[in-house]
A and B are shown apart, each in its own frame.
Chain A
Amino acid sequence: MSGPLVPQHDEAARRRRRRNSIALGLVLGGLVILFYLLTIVKMGPAIFTTRDL
């Protein structure tokens, strides 16, 4: 069983789109890490303090 015939031109486009998706994913992942670090630094040691409610 063979897959659909994809013109060589489209194979290159598929690779390019995949690379762009990975790059966008990395940017979004970076933003998540950035906001996480920012929150930890801004809250300081208080983040480890537990209080009875």
Chain B
Amino acid sequence: MAFVDDSKGYITTAGEARVEDYLALLKPRVMSLVVFTAIIGLLLAPGGVNPVIGVIAILCIAVGAGGSGALNMWYDADIDRVMSRTANRPIPSGRVTPGEALAVGLICSGFSVAILGLATNWVAAALLAFTIFFYAVIYTMWLKRSTPQNIVIGGAAGAFPPMIGWAAVTGDITLPSIILFLIIFLWTPPHFWALALYKQGDYQAAGIPMLPNVAGEAATKNQILLYSVILVASSLVPLFIHMSGWLYGAIAVLTGASFLYLAVRLHRAPTQIGMKKLARSLFTYSLSYLFVIFLALLTDHVGQLLGWVQ
């Protein structure tokens, strides 16, 4: 695999990793959702921010999320190897060593927090540091392998980015930013339990106590429905605290009704095959739902600024 004698013109290779493998460590798909919600939080915050500082803040949040993703992959390499969805990740496939992943995770985390603090304020930096700690330590190292409520509590890590974006502008934590947090926090359980329902064999093999494996499908479907109702209700809060207007309200009602419809259909699914298909539909729809809800918040906000929406 490696030739060491440089005097003969041979080269030394430390590993098989390519640039793409290091990028994959940062979980770019998760990062894209983090970046999107952080941008919305940053743009919704009152006061505004210098565009260069705004771009740097988003970059820091993205790299921080990537760093926590790399730390997650470093710690979870053993279970990633077992699950079909994750078996081809850089560490289980042997392209990146665990030590390299740990180094990438720590460097990205450290730099992102420090630069965010220098560029914006230390409230935002502290929130980012806490998010990374929460995802890498509280969720990955503790909750994920010990309780079926893992993604309920661990979902907080994914819910912080809009709050960080908001804090990067205002330097504080206020009710509207907490509501942005709440929407993602309540969205996480139905999203991941829908995934767990049609991938439960994978989680079972890896020994992760996801709700369908521990409490059964019926209990999981009940919980999905319950959280879907609370999620849709919480998505209407921006309307009642005058954070958003009728445009957001209309979109939240329509998309929320579709979410509830899919959750009810899943709840009533008569057969195993039908259930898996509906679980997959809900999982896919939930991704679009979050995207549309946050985009609606921004559209409504811009509309209000321009005087187009009441």
Contact = CB atoms under 8 A, between A and B. Distances in A.
A4 B11 contact: no
Interface stretch (B2-10, B141-149, B172-180, B183-191): B2-10
A35 B53 CA distance: 11
B115 A34 contact: yes
A37 B11 contact: no
Contact of A16 (B2, B3, B18): B18
B83 interface: no
A17 B11 CA distance: 10
Given A19-B18, A20-B18, A41 B10 contact: no
Contacts, number: 44
A20 B11 contact: no
A24 to B, nearest CB: 9
Given A20-B19, A38-B118, A41-B50, A10 B56 contact: no
Contact of B13 (A4, A13, A41): A13
A23 interface: yes
Interface string B50-61: 101100100100
Interface of B: 2-3, 8-11, 13, 16-19, 22, 50, 52-53, 56, 59, 115, 118-119
Interface of A: 3-4, 6, 10, 13-14, 16-17, 19-20, 23, 34, 37-38, 41-42
